[in-house]
């Protein structure tokens, strides 16, 4: 199919990369796979040959019908739909299994899509996603690195992530101005394991990472915690008083959260 790119799309052309992305999903012969932004169907074609069923979510009003004509079948369903509105829970219930997800995420809405997948974690088992390299650096970052922050903690609270490989602009048409990285996300939310409530903990994370250059204590004071409460919580959680949020593991952040909730 020949089609002018719209909605910020950069179509993947590297056939080796396409095969690696699909292979990273593992055995999908009996799996329902949701593809985000299939575009011209380069990855969709590989999925169709290997997956039990493919649900391709394409928002572009011109690309969606072309993709349906090109690949639509009993096993490939093309939906002209925004992934942010897609009901993953209903699709998983219909499939009678948790879903796999794959996609070359549009750069301009990467974070909202990641948050949508996190919200739907109970219906998903794994995802292989391509994002801008700098975003991937933040997603897979370790505590103490300059890339570690709110996005890191939010994504990793829903399961482990691993960087797979990075592609240059020339792997796409038209070439973007940035490199792109593929990573794998296995959905296994950690809230119960760490003894924290989902919404309150994520709200707390937003507070402590509000100003990355400031210490935890300063960010917590800005969030209306009293100095005495902060000092006691930091001490009980075994965290130095001048620590910054970016220095703390998810486990340490959970300990601090629980101390502050007492």
Binding residue numbers for S-adenosyl-L-methionine: 10, 12, 37, 58, 82, 104
The pair of structure tokens assigned to 56 is: 């391709």
Which of 12, 35, 16 shows the shortest CA–CA distance to 25? 35
Burial grade of 109 (CB within 10 A; 0-12, 13-18, 19 or more): middle
Contact 127, 117 (CB under 8 A): yes
Residue (of 214, 198, 239) closest to 149 by Cα position: 214
Q: What is the CA radius of gyration of the chain?
A: 20
DSSP-assigned beta bridge partners for residue 130: 104, 182
Answer for the pair 168, 179: CB distance below 8 angstroms, yes or no.
yes
CA distance 224 to 137: 32
- Please report where in the chains the tokens 């601090």 appear, as a residue: 256
Q: Quote the tokens at residue 182.
A: 């593929």
Please give the annotated binding residues, written as ranges: 10, 12, 37, 58, 82, 104
Which tokens hold the place of 129?
Answer: 């996603």
Q: Which residue has the tokens 């932004």?
A: 37
Residues 6 or more apart from 127 whose CB is under 8 A from it?
100, 101, 102, 103, 117, 184, 185, 187
């Amino acid at each position: 199919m020949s089609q002018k790119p719209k909605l910020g799309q950069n179509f993947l052309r590297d056939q080796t990369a396409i095969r690696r992305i699909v292979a990273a999903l593992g055995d999908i012969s009996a799996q329902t796979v949701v593809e985000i932004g299939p575009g011209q169907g380069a990855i969709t074609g590989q999925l169709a040959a290997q997956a039990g069923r493919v649900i391709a979510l394409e928002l572009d009003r011109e690309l969606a019908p072309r993709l349906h004509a090109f690949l639509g079948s009993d096993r490939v369903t093309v939906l002209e739909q925004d992934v942010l509105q897609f009901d993953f829970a209903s699709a998983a219930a219909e499939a009678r299994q948790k879903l796999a997800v794959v996609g070359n995420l549009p750069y301009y809405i990467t974070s909202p899509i990641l948050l949508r997948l996190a919200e739907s974690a109970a219906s998903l088992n794994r995802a292989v996603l391509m994002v801008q390299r700098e975003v991937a650096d933040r997603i897979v970052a370790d505590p103490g690195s300059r890339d570690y922050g709110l996005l890191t903690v939010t994504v990793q609270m829903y399961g482990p992530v691993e960087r797979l490989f990075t592609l240059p602009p020339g792997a796409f048409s038209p070439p973007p101005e940035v490199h792109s990285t593929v990573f794998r996300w296995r959905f296994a939310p950690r809230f119960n394991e760490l003894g924290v409530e989902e919404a309150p903990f994520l709200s707390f994370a937003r507070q402590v990472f509000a100003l990355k250059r400031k210490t935890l204590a300063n960010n917590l004071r800005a969030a209306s915690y009293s100095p005495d409460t902060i000092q006691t919580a930091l001490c009980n959680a075994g965290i130095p008083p001048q620590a910054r949020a970016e220095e703390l593991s998810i486990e340490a952040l959970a300990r601090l959260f629980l101390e502050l909730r007492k």
